[in-house]
Amino acid sequence: MSATTRTVSRRGFIGGALAVAGAWPLATGAAAADAAPVHAAGGYRSLTSSEAPLVEALVNALCPADALTPDGVTSGLAAFVDTYLAGMVESVTPGHPALFRAGLSAAADACRARLGMPFHELSATDARQFLRDLAAGAVDADFPLQSWASDVVDPLLKQACFSGQVYDRFGSRMFIKLFG
């Protein structure tokens, strides 16, 4: 194993990521006592006005519209993530909503630092490239973004693709092309 490669167990990742997630508000200067109350964005139960565009851009980049399927937002993937964050659906994703939110915030910060603009303002091509780089571990951050993408985001979106609220609406066949 090279000096730059290390193996992280699922348990180790969750423990480390939860520790980072707990410290994230302090690291970004948003101490809990000073933070304004978080309100859901229009139409969502739990996604805040800063999270909603990020989640929508994320699901649209990972599930762009094509001849067989609508985009991720139209398909209901952002709504599923919102439902999960609101605690209204049990997820196969390890951790809890705070871990998803901490990773989302870290990814947004990393995108702004790397590309000079918010993730939701990137072109579709640039957004997909940023997510590929993130998944490959090529995005610098103080948060384990590569593990977050593979151990939190991927399982959550796979679950979303085959959940009743998304899957049944399209005759139980919409996302077979993505996952086989």
Which pLDDT tens digit goes with each residue over 145-161? Answer: 999 999 889 988 888 87
Answer yes or no: is 143 within a domain: yes
Structural domain boundaries, residue 105: 41-171
Runs of H (alpha helix) within 72-175: 72-75, 77-85, 97-115, 124-135, 145-148, 154-161, 164-167
**pLDDT single digits (tens) 12-70:** 434 444 343 333 333 333 333 333 334 556 689 899 999 999 999 999 999 898 887 78
> What is the model's pLDDT at position 95?
62
Between 138 and 13, the more confident residue is 138
Answer yes or no: is 67 within a domain: yes
pLDDT category, 121, cuts 50, 70, 90? Answer: very high
Total domains present in the chain: 1
Mean pLDDT of 134-155: 93
Say how many Å lie between the first and final Cα of the chain, rounded: 33
Q: Which residues of 43-54 are buried (b: 16+ CB within 10 A; e: fewer)?
A: ebebbeeebbbb
Answer yes or no: is 151 within a domain: yes
> % helix / strand / coil in the chain, to the nearest 5?
60, 0, 40
pLDDT category, 7, cuts 50, 70, 90? Answer: very low
Between 126 and 69, the more confident residue is 126
Asked whether 60 and 72 are in contact (CB, 8 A), the reply is yes
Answer yes or no: is 28 within a domain: no
Residue 168 reports pLDDT greater than 60: no
Over pLDDT 70: what percentage of the chain?
A: 64
Answer yes or no: is 87 within a domain: yes
Answer yes or no: is 53 within a domain: yes
> What is the model's pLDDT at position 87?
82
For residue 13, report the phi and psi dihedrals to the nearest 5 degrees: -65, -50
**In 10 A of CB 166, how many CB atoms?**
19
pLDDT category, 9, cuts 50, 70, 90? Answer: very low
Mean pLDDT of 79-98: 78
Answer yes or no: is 164 within a domain: yes
pLDDT category, 4, cuts 50, 70, 90? Answer: very low
